[in-house]
Structure 1
Amino acid sequence: MNWEDTPEEAAFREQVAAFVAEHFPAAYRPDPAAEHSLEPEDVWGYNWPADRLSEDPDRREGARRWAAALAERGWITPHWPAEYGGAGLPAALEFVLQEEMMRARVPTVNGIGAFLLGPTVLAEGTDAQRAEHLPPIARGERTWAQGFSEPESGSDLASVRTRAVRDGDDYVVNGQKVWTSLGQYADWLFVLVRTDPDAHRHKGLTFLLVDTATEGVTVRPITDLRGDAPFAEVFFDDARVPVANRVGEENRGWYVAMTALSFERAGIGATVKFEHALSSLVDYVNSDAAKPYLRPDTAVLRQEIARRYAEVRVLYNLARYTVSTQAAGGVAGYEASVNQLFGAELAGRIARTGAKAFGAFAELWQRTDSPMNAAFTHLRLDSVAATFLGGTTEIQRNVIATRGLGLPRS
C-alpha cells in the first residue's frame, strides 16, 4: 500500500484545516479535566455529549454550534449517504477528516451513534428505523450509548442475562447493564437482551433500541478510581420497548451486534493522543518549569521517549493499513485486534515513561503544583482501562492467534 497521501487526500487535509479555522467557535473550550480519553477514537471529542448538556453556557452553546457547522457539511457522519445527512466520503477521506480534527484538538461529534449504531442500522435496520434515527444523529441532536456489558458479562457478550419477554407489540425488559460509556448523557441506548433463555447462548439474543426516557429505565453514573464518572450503569425494571425498535430478527441479535462491532474505527485517535502526550512531555522536560521535578538521569529518559515515538508511528501505520483495507472493500478482521492490543499496551508504556521523568513527583495527584498538571499520573490510571475496553488483551491475543495465525484453539 501507499503510505503517503494521494493528491486528493492532501487537498482534503487543507480543506479540513481551513474549515476548522473558520468555523470552530472561539468560546468553545472542552474541559481537559473532564475529557475522559478512555475511548481512543475521539481524543478531544469523547466528552462532547457532556459538553452539549453542560451548565457552562459557553461550552454548551459552543458544542451545539460546532455540531451544526459539521452537520451542514455532513461531517458528523462523513461516511453515510447524503440522504441520511452524511457526506458519502470514502474511508480514506474519512480517516483524513478525523485525523485533522484531532490534530487541531477540536471535538468530533456524536461518536458512538455515528460510527457504531448508525452503520448498523444502515446495514440491518428497517427503512422506518433509518428514517427515525439516522437524521438526528447526523444533525448532532441525538446521542447514543452502547448497552452490551453486564455484571459478570463484560467481554463475554454471549453470557448476557438481561431478559426481554414479548408482550403484544412490546418487549418487557428486566436486568442491568454496566460500564456504559457516557450513558448518563445518552438520549438512546442500543442493547443486547436475552429473548430465549433455553436456546444456545449465542442464539437467544435480540438487539433493541431503547429511549432512555422510557419508564422503568434508570441510568446511574459510576465514579471511577480517579473520582470521575466516564460511564454509568443502567437498570431495566419492567421497561416496555416497542417491537418496532428491534433491529434484525428476534433471537438473531448476536449477529447484529457483531455487525456493530465490525465498524470499530481504525485507531487514529490513539495515535494522535499519544503524539500529543509525548510532544508535551518533551516540551516540558526542556523548559525551566520542569527543573524542580525532573530526575537527573535524562539520558535514559531520552532513549525511552525515542522508543515510544517509534511505537506511535507503528500504531499510525497499523491504522492506515486498516483504512486501506476498508477502502479496498475489505473488512478489518484480526488486524483490528492487532491495532487494539498494540494501542492498549502502548498507552501503559507511554504513561510509565512520563512517570519515570518525574520520579516520586509522579505520585502527585492534584492538578495544581504538579509536573505537567499531573497529566501522566492520571494517564497511568487511565491506561489500565485500555487493556480491557473493547475486549481484553487476552481476547485480542486469542483472536490474533486463531484468526490471524491459524493456531488451534487448544
Structure 2
Amino acid sequence: MNWEDTPEEAEFRDEVRSFVTTRFPASYRPDPEAEHSLEPEDVWGYSWAVDRRSPDPARRDGALAWAAALAERGWITPQWPREYGGAGLSAEQEFILQEEMMRARVPTVNGIGAFLLGPTILELGTDEQKAEHLPRIARGETTWVQGFSEPGSGSDLASLRTRAVRDGDHYVVNGQKVWTSLGAQADWMFVLVRTDPAAPKHKGITFLLVDTETPGVTVRPITDIRGDTPFAEVFFDDARVPVANRVGAENRGWYVAMTALGFERAGIGATVKFEQALSTLVEYLKSDEGRAHARPDTEGLRLEIARRYTEVRVLYNLARHSTSSGDYAGSVSQLFGAELHQRLARTGAKAFGQLAELWQREDAPLGAAFTHLRLDSVAATFLGGTTEIQRNVIATRGLGLPKS
C-alpha cells in the first residue's frame, strides 16, 4: 500500500515538527540512568507518569509543562471530541502525531488513560463519568492503570478472583492484582472484579473505576530483573468503591473489558524505537570503536541486520494498517512487534559477543544498550497479552477458525 502523505497530512506533519521544536521544554532531558520503558509508546530516558512526580524540580516541571503544551491543542487525546478536551483528529493524523513525537524522542503523555480507558468511557460510560474523568485525562491531570491480571489469572483473565460485594451505594472489594504497569505512579485504576461467583466465569464480572487513594487499597512496587520497578501489585482490603464508578451493567464487565482492549492497537511507537536502535547499531559498527568491539565474523551479522531492517519495515506497514482496521489487526501487529523485539535484541547482543554480557553502561559497547534491550525484551511476548492469546485472536477473528 502507498502510505505517502496527502498534501493535508504533509502539512499536519510539518505542524507537529514545528510544535515539538518550539514547545518541548529544553530542560526536560532524558535520564541517562533510566531503563528503557517496557511500554511501546514511550521513549528511552523518559517515563512521563514517573517524571511528573520526580523529586528533581527541573524534571517534574518539564513533564508538567510538556503535558500543558500538548493539552492546549488537545494532543494528549487527539481523536477525542473537543468537548472533552480532544482535538477531533483523524486516525491518520493521530498516527502522524505519534510518529513525529517518537522520531523527535520526546515522551507521550497519559497513555493508557488516553488510548484505552477514555474511549471506553466515551462509548459506555455515564454522562457523569465522562464529565468527571475525561477532561482531567485530556489535561494530563490524572494517570490511569489497568487492574486486570491477578496471581494465577493472567492469560486466563476470566478466572480472576478479586471479589466485590454490593453494600448500598458501594461495592466492598477484596483481592489482589499483580503486574500492574506503572501502578505505583497511578492516580486511578480500572479494575475487573467478580460480583457473581455462581455465574459462568465470563458473566459474573464487573468493571469498576478505583481511586488509588481509597482506604483499603495498597500499592507495592515490584522490582524486575533489571532492578527497575515498572510494575506493582495492588491489594484490596474492604475497599469501598462507589456504585457510580461502575462502567456498564453489573456482571457485564467482561464485555466492557473487551471493548477497552479493542481500542488497544500496536502503534508506531515500537516501530520507531526498533528503527532507531537498529540505525544506532549500524552506525556504531561502522565506526573505529565499533569495529574494535564487534565480533570478527561480520558476514552473518550483516545478513541478520538486513533481516531486522526488513522486519522493521513490515512492522511499520502493520502499524499503519491497524490504524484503519479493527478486530484482529492490532493482534497481528502486536504479535509481530513482540517477537521482533526479541530478535532485534539478540541480533544486537550477537554483534558484540562476550562484551554483550556487560551490564554497566560505562565503557561497554554502545553503553550496553543491547544488553539492557535483551532483558527488556523478555517481557515482550506476554506484556499486554501473550503470544498464545494473540494467535488465538488471529485464528478465530481473523481466519474464522473454531475456538476448539
What is the TM-score with the length of structure 2 in the denominator?
Answer: 0.98
Structure 2 CA distance for aligned equivalents of residues 94 and 44 of structure 1: 21
In the alignment, structure 1 residue 387 sits paired with structure 2 residue 381: yes
RMSD: 1.3
| CA positional deviation for 1:30 | 3.0
Structure 2 CA distance for aligned equivalents of residues 192 and 337 of structure 1: 22
The 5 A counterparts of 1:80-99 are 80-99=80-99
| CA positional deviation for 1:378 | 1.1
Structure 1 CA distance for aligned equivalents of residues 169 and 257 of structure 2: 23
| CA positional deviation for 1:45 | 8.6
| CA positional deviation for 1:244 | 0.6
| Structure 1, unpaired ranges of 5+ | 326-331
Map Cα deviations across residues 179-217 of structure 1 (whole Å, 9 max, x no partner). 000000000010000000000100100000000000000
| 3-state SS of paired residue (1:114) | helix
Per the alignment, residue 53 of structure 2 pairs with: 53
Per the alignment, residue 41 of structure 2 pairs with: 41
| 3-state SS of paired residue (2:202) | coil
Quick one: which of 366, 370, 388 aligns to 2:364?
Answer: 370
Structure 2 CA distance for aligned equivalents of residues 106 and 20 of structure 1: 8
Relative distance call for 1:197 and 1:392 in structure 2 (3 A) is same
Relative distance call for 1:173 and 1:36 in structure 2 (3 A) is farther
Structure 2 CA distance for aligned equivalents of residues 14 and 45 of structure 1: 25
| CA positional deviation for 1:337 | 1.3
Map Cα deviations across residues 349-383 of structure 1 (whole Å, 9 max, x no partner). 10011011100000111111111111111111111
In the alignment, structure 1 residue 197 sits paired with structure 2 residue 197: yes
| CA positional deviation for 1:167 | 0.5
Per the alignment, residue 180 of structure 1 pairs with: 180
Structure 2 CA distance for aligned equivalents of residues 178 and 132 of structure 1: 27
In the alignment, structure 1 residue 7 sits paired with structure 2 residue 1: no
Structure 2 CA distance for aligned equivalents of residues 324 and 407 of structure 1: 23
Give the letter for the 1:404 counterpart. G
Structure 2 CA distance for aligned equivalents of residues 47 and 28 of structure 1: 11
Contact 2:33 2:45 in 1 (8 A): no
The 5 A counterparts of 1:6-405 are 6-44=6-44, 47-325=47-325, 332-405=326-399
What is the TM-score with the length of structure 1 in the denominator?
Answer: 0.96
Give the letter for the 2:355 counterpart. F
| CA positional deviation for 1:32 | 4.8
| 3-state SS of paired residue (1:409) | coil
Give the letter for the 2:74 counterpart. G
Structure 2 CA distance for aligned equivalents of residues 69 and 409 of structure 1: 47
Give the letter for the 1:38 counterpart. L
Map Cα deviations across residues 305-330 of structure 1 (whole Å, 9 max, x no partner). 111000000000001111133xxxxx
Map Cα deviations across residues 101-127 of structure 1 (whole Å, 9 max, x no partner). 000000110001100111111111000
Structure 2 CA distance for aligned equivalents of residues 104 and 110 of structure 1: 18
| 3-state SS of paired residue (2:221) | strand
Contact 1:43 1:270 in 2 (8 A): no
Give the letter for the 1:241 counterpart. V
| CA positional deviation for 1:333 | 1.4
Relative distance call for 1:324 and 1:5 in structure 2 (3 A) is farther
Structure 2 CA distance for aligned equivalents of residues 254 and 316 of structure 1: 31
Relative distance call for 1:129 and 1:116 in structure 2 (3 A) is same
Structure 2 CA distance for aligned equivalents of residues 2 and 372 of structure 1: 35
| CA positional deviation for 1:288 | 2.2
Structure 2 CA distance for aligned equivalents of residues 156 and 227 of structure 1: 28
| 3-state SS of paired residue (1:260) | helix
Contact 1:203 1:251 in 2 (8 A): yes
| 3-state SS of paired residue (1:258) | helix
Identical-pair percentage: 79
Map Cα deviations across residues 14-50 of structure 1 (whole Å, 9 max, x no partner). 0000000000000001325435421213335971000
How many pairs were matched up?
Answer: 404
Structure 1 CA distance for aligned equivalents of residues 223 and 271 of structure 2: 27
Structure 2 CA distance for aligned equivalents of residues 248 and 159 of structure 1: 20
Structure 1 CA distance for aligned equivalents of residues 35 and 14 of structure 2: 27
Structure 2 CA distance for aligned equivalents of residues 266 and 277 of structure 1: 18
Structure 2 CA distance for aligned equivalents of residues 15 and 347 of structure 1: 31
Contact 2:265 2:331 in 1 (8 A): no
